Chain A
Amino acid sequence: MKKFKEWVASSSFSSVSASIGAILVGLLLGLIILIITNPSQAFPAFFTILSGGFTNGIKGLGNVLYYSTPLILTGLSVGFAFKTGLFNIGASGQMVVGGFVAILIGVRCEFLGSSLWIVALLGAILAGALWALIPGIFKALFNVHEVISSIMMNYIGMYLVNMLIVKYIFDSIRNQSMIVAESAVMPKLGLDTLTNGSSLNSGFLIAILFVIVTYIILNKTVFGYELIACGFNQEASKYAGIKAKRNVVLAMVIAGALAGAAGGLMYLAGSGQRIMVVDILLSEGFMGIPIALLGLSNPIGIFFSAIFIGHIKVGGFYMQLYDFVPDIIDIMISVIIYFSAFALMVKGVIGFLLKKQKRKKEKSQRQKNGGKVE
């Protein structure tokens, strides 16, 4: 009980409650919009959103996890960057570039053998990493804010990939990229039969692996110590001999690698996912932002919030039965982001109130003991 009380008073509790608060507000607003547009169908639709994949039993659940897989990685990408003091708004571009390279290898490199998917995935990771290298270098060397350079890279990536698909791997009938070879599809590992025929595959397990690795890097290693130090205080890191510029670039590269992996996992899943040749930025990249914010940039938290977002996205898909447009989900998610921006402030308020209580208690304790007030 004491440990629980301690946790309640700690800053992590106020952060978590702030995140949950933001989610609740987002959901509530979604409900209100549903009610305004079509009152009779609003509540059943809302419950469909909330039940997410469960609407369709274990198959639905499997699809939620399948859908969440790339989101886990874009969440990790943005979250990792946040931890090191950077805002990786370029996950979209990194993901599409990664996805492109993965598909390219999957289509054109059949000669490499039966585990082609491994090569393709590695290619995706490398591509994403390289794509993030530019904003990283620009920030370190030229003092260009990574937000604006990443946004430029998003658009350049989109146009470039579209152009290259048309040139090298075009399925003109459907205006998208071609299907990858069998050997480039990630193994199912029996997960599909386990979930009654959903699209779940080993990609989900790989995502979990990334979560664990990211967690270890951030919290247990010297490298993580340095990166987070730079994120908190660049000047003090410099004073301590940490190479801040190098770390900025490395952090972006790793974030890019994670987003690139998201692209690989999404397009090598074998469930018919292909890159459409349209001038629209990949939304999964931007989804990484609310996921990272809700997960407080903690890899474990990101894992769960990615599944949550996947959950309501799938719910939104099923909600179409009730004659609603699935864009409602995007509206809810942007509201969640907006309120999680407050989260820091809310966290401050809750933490402050709790500290005040704690101080009062401590003061009365000391007065009892007759000791000096420090």
Chain B
Amino acid sequence: MNILYFLVQQTMFFSIPLLVVALGGMFSERSGVVNIALEGIMIIGAFTSVMTIRLLQDTMQGQGLLLIALAVASLSGMIYSLLHAYASINMKSDQVISGTALNMFAPAFAIFVARIYQGTKDIQFTNTFRIKSVPLLGEIPIVGQLLFQNAYITTYIGIAILIISSIVLYKTKFGLRLRACGENPQAADSVGVNVYGMRYSGVLISGALAGLGGLIFVVPTSSGFGATVSGYGFLALAVMIFGQWKPNRILFAAFFFGFMKTVSAAYSGIPFLRDLDISGGVYKMMPYIITLVVLALSSKKSQSPRAAGTPYDVGKR
């Protein structure tokens, strides 16, 4: 039973960042801008926020510090994504190339600054954020142990983001206009919607969420940040596609992949799997192989936002 609790808790740590980042990607693509720079933005977000923790942890600890770090992650992600927004929207450049540039810059930058600061690239931090048990909720039998013990507030923040995203996308004026820009920007433009502005919003939201996702990924799973998020940003893209750009399905996809990742990391702790004596490398490959299979099955009838990837030219009305 303990193994089950452990698995569920761990799955949270792997799924929530995927969820948040995939939602970010969704906002960007729904507005019409393909954003494959999620990996790079996650790195920038994680880097700036881990540095913040590192610099402040002598004077501050606990949830307060974490909240500050989350804000920093989000903000830095947003600012970094401005580069992609500008290139894609104003300069109308190839969105995949621009995204690739950001993906390549981020680790180089993170390593560079880390080396200047401390000589090595891994930034260690002390984890004072783990919540052993949420008051009241953690004491509920079974559910309490599954969801409210050994937790981080980042998990709950992630779920909150999901709910808010759903509401914003489908029930607000902003969401309606955003979706229109991703399907038929000419139509939106003709009724006075500011397509450029909407697309900027989409990209900035993806930046904020991806940056946030970077920290959410690092905190529960490691004690340091080494300028990589192990391809998580790309897995998030797969989650987004598998989730067909819809928040509820993305939730399901994120947990599916998160669970896969958990098994691959924790298999040695599961007696049944340990006894199978499969090499560690196989487990490491599993999430990616499964992603491939899932993509193959779900891309045929894929309904991506129609105008995603095509720069909008106001002059060509």
Contacts and interface: CB of A to CB of B under 8 A. Distances in A.
Interface of A: 33, 37, 87, 89, 134, 138, 142-145, 147-149, 151-156, 159-160, 162-163, 166-167, 279-280, 286, 289, 293, 325, 327-328, 330-331, 333-335, 337-338, 340-345
B93 A341 contact: yes
Contacts of A331: 105, 108-109, 112
A341 B94 contact: yes
B279 interface: yes
B118 to A, nearest CB: 12
Given A142-B299, A143-B300, A344-B94, A337 B115 contact: no
B105 A334 contact: yes
Contact of B231 (A145, A151, A327, A344): A151
A334 B36 contact: no
A144 B112 CA distance: 35
Nearest to A281: B231
Contacts of B91: 341-342, 345
A173 to B, nearest CB: 20
Interface string B228-259: 10110010011001000000000000000000
A4 to B, nearest CB: 29
Given A142-B295, A147-B36, A331-B112, A163 B93 contact: no
Contacts of A156: 285, 288-289, 292
A42 to B, nearest CB: 14
17 contacts: A142-B296, A143-B300, A144-B295, A152-B238, A152-B288, A152-B292, A163-B280, A289-B97, A293-B97, A325-B112, A327-B115, A330-B104, A331-B105, A333-B104, A334-B104, A334-B105, A338-B83
A350 B96 CA distance: 23
A155 B285 contact: yes
Nearest to B105: A334
Interface residues of B, number: 45
A144 B296 contact: yes
Interface in B197-253: 228, 230-231, 234, 237-238, 241
A142 B234 contact: no
Given A143-B299, A156-B288, A37 B116 contact: yes
Nearest to B311: A345
Contact of A152 (B87, B94, B234, B281): B234
B231 A149 contact: no
Contact of B112 (A87, A142, A328, A333): A328
Contacts of A153: 288, 292
